[in-house]
Amino acid sequence: MQLKRCLLRNYDPFIRPAGVSTNGTTVVSIALTPKHIDFVDRKNILIFHTWIRLSWSDGNLSWTSGKRGIDRLHIDSDEIWMPPLTMYSSAEVGYEHMEIPPTDCVLLSSGDFHCVVEMNYVSHCVADYRHWPFDKHNCSIILGSWFESHDEIKYHVKDKKTVFGGLMTLDFTPNPEWKLVSFGIIENMTKRISHDITIPSVVYNVIIERYSAYMQTTILAPAVLLIILTLAVLWLDPTSVERLLLAALNLICHLLCMLNLSEKVPFNGSSLPSILVFHQNSMIIASVTLFLTVVLRQMLEISGTASALLASTESIIFKSRAARLAEAKNSNPSDSATVETENDDVGLVDADGPQAENDPGSSNAWQRLITFIDRLAFAGAFITYVVMIWVFTPRNDINTNAPDFPVQS
């Protein structure tokens, strides 16, 4: 205690210790160790619990440890000068949420201070929900001093780029929903407040990723089932009652899934989630499927009149003189007379009514047309789903750049 009183006798905690070897600039070393993270997606807020270690030197508070037998002292932060480190990107109002709280510091005989503080940084994030529920977010924690220029204080970060892992996981408590992908310093920056004054700042880059198995299962499983259900509807016979009922049930399931997603998907992101676009397009396909089912059933009901028209068209195409002559080339010469005779009978009408109405081939032609339309719709829906899955598959395209504000290199 006598040594402490002797050192602090003429000490003023409001005066910054000037570095001798740095032309009067005080160099403060910063190290952050994450403890826990949380992300409030409804507010786009990152809650970052961390240990922050501050180190600097004051040559006026050094002593010879050999003579006194003491190599370190514990001093309250209220009794000494502390780096005026605040958070620029804080989401909380009030200076008390941004500054360093009182703590216990260690003073070595060399005049080096070491302080460890537990901080809860709350920062706004520009959220990106394109790949929700596989979304990643890049949040920035900007620390610096408002009242000292870059010539007075310089913040030094030991690790310029730290990927989360290794020794840093010793004190880290994982979040059951969010994974800390990377945490590190982008660069040591100085923010310009005028043409002649720059203030020191440090930007930490925090990338988090959602990995909730419950969320992914409850979102992806219904999407896969709806795809199978829609394709199954198109594969059934359009004349069956089961297809009509299943098509209506399919559209109802799409509507229920959209209502469920509207309650879970965050609505305050910078872009629309791909899962919503996927379900929107899938609901359109389900609506077209139901409409097509009704149309095909109506086409079969009016097939009596339409079959005669279709059969007449088919007769003109396939029983024309050119087609018959082409067929005659592959037949015996004795059949040529038969071909000519049949060609002369084309277009004749029986006294009892149209010949096509009693011809079973006309009904088969109409059935083939309906089947062709149905299979074409199935192929179109299948290709559309494949393209949507490929387009909306999450990709690692998160923006890892620093926040955009004027800096001086």
Residues 186 and 284 in one domain: no
Phi and psi angles of residue 371, each rounded to the nearest 5 degrees, phi first: -65, -40
DSSP one-letter string for 309-326:
HHHHHHHHHHTSHHHHHH
* Its pTM surpasses 0.85: no
Last residue of a domain, one of 163, 178, 210: 210
Report yes or no on 394 lying in a domain: yes
Residues 296 and 380 in one domain: yes
Report yes or no on 329 lying in a domain: no
Residues 241 and 186 in one domain: no
Tokens representing 398 are: 């998160």
Distance, in Å, from the CA atom of 126 to the CA atom of 401, rounded to the nearest integer, reads: 12
CATH of the domain at 119: 2.70.170.10
Residues 176 and 129 in one domain: yes
Residues 71 and 56 in one domain: yes
Distance, in Å, from the CA atom of 310 to the CA atom of 345, rounded to the nearest integer, reads: 19
Bridge partners, residue 187, by sequence? 203
Phi and psi angles of residue 379, each rounded to the nearest 5 degrees, phi first: -65, -40
Last residue of a domain, one of 210, 231, 262: 210
Residues 6+ apart with CB under 8 A from 260: 222
Report yes or no on 298 lying in a domain: yes
The count of structural domains within the chain is 2
pLDDT computed for residue 135 by the predictor: 86
Distance separating the N- and C-terminal Cα atoms of the chain: 45
Report yes or no on 82 lying in a domain: yes
Tokens representing 350 are: 């029986």
pLDDT in tens, the chain (409 residues): 677 777 778 888 888 887 655 677 888 888 888 889 999 888 888 999 988 889 998 888 888 776 567 888 888 888 888 888 888 877 776 655 567 888 889 988 888 899 998 888 898 887 888 888 888 888 888 888 877 777 788 888 865 444 444 434 457 888 888 888 887 776 566 666 555 667 788 888 888 888 877 777 888 889 999 999 999 999 998 888 999 999 999 999 999 999 988 888 887 766 788 888 999 999 999 999 999 999 888 877 776 555 555 555 555 555 555 445 444 544 454 444 444 444 444 444 444 444 444 455 555 677 778 888 889 999 999 999 999 999 888 766 555 444 444 433 3
Report yes or no on 325 lying in a domain: no
Distance, in Å, from the CA atom of 311 to the CA atom of 358, rounded to the nearest integer, reads: 11
Owning domain of residue 41: 1-210
pLDDT computed for residue 231 by the predictor: 94
The side-by-side arrangement of strands in the sheet containing 198-210 is 86-87, 136-144, 198-210, 178-192
CATH of the domain at 291: 1.20.58.390
pLDDT computed for residue 132 by the predictor: 86
Which helix (H) or strand (E) covers residue 244, if one does? helix 241-264
Residues 289 and 375 in one domain: yes
Distance, in Å, from the CA atom of 179 to the CA atom of 359, rounded to the nearest integer, reads: 70
Residues 5 and 65 in one domain: yes
129, 265 Cβ separation under 8 angstroms: yes
Residues 180 and 217 in one domain: no
pLDDT computed for residue 288 by the predictor: 94
- Residue 395 burial (C-beta neighbours within 10 Å; 0-12, 13-18, 19+): exposed
pLDDT computed for residue 409 by the predictor: 35
Residues 7 and 34 in one domain: yes
Residues 157 and 217 in one domain: no
User: Cis peptide leading into 176, omega within 30 of 0?
Assistant: no
Report yes or no on 124 lying in a domain: yes
pLDDT computed for residue 211 by the predictor: 82
Report yes or no on 201 lying in a domain: yes
Last residue of a domain, one of 185, 210, 235: 210
pLDDT computed for residue 197 by the predictor: 67
Residues 6+ apart with CB under 8 A from 103: 76, 77, 115, 116, 117
Bridge partners, residue 38, by sequence? 47
Report yes or no on 407 lying in a domain: no
Distance, in Å, from the CA atom of 202 to the CA atom of 204, rounded to the nearest integer, reads: 7
Residues 286 and 390 in one domain: yes
Distance, in Å, from the CA atom of 73 to the CA atom of 300, rounded to the nearest integer, reads: 95
70, 3 Cβ separation under 8 angstroms: yes
Place of tokens 């070491």: 114
Tokens representing 195 are: 């043409």
Residues 373 and 384 in one domain: yes
